[in-house]
Amino acid sequence: NSSPAGPAAWLLAEVVDRLLRFMDDDYLTVMKKLGTRDCNIVDQDALSDALSSVKSGKVLFLHTLETCVDEEHRKAHGNEIKSAVAAAEALVQDSVKSSEVQLPQWMAPVAGASKVTMR
pLDDT tens digits for the chain (119 residues)?
678 888 888 888 888 888 887 777 777 776 676 666 566 566 777 888 888 888 888 888 887 777 777 778 788 988 998 898 888 888 888 877 777 888 888 888 888 888 887 76
Q: So what's the pLDDT on residue 34?
A: 63
Whole-prediction pTM:
0.59
CA gap 3, 70 in Å, rounded: 39
What letter represents residue 34's amino acid? L
Q: So what's the pLDDT on residue 92?
A: 83
HEC secondary structure over 48-84: HHHHHHHHHCCCCCHHHHHHCCCHHHHHHHHHHHHHH
CA gap 87, 108 in Å, rounded: 38
Q: So what's the pLDDT on residue 119?
A: 62
Q: Is the dihedral of CA 94, 59, 11, 70 positive or negative?
A: negative
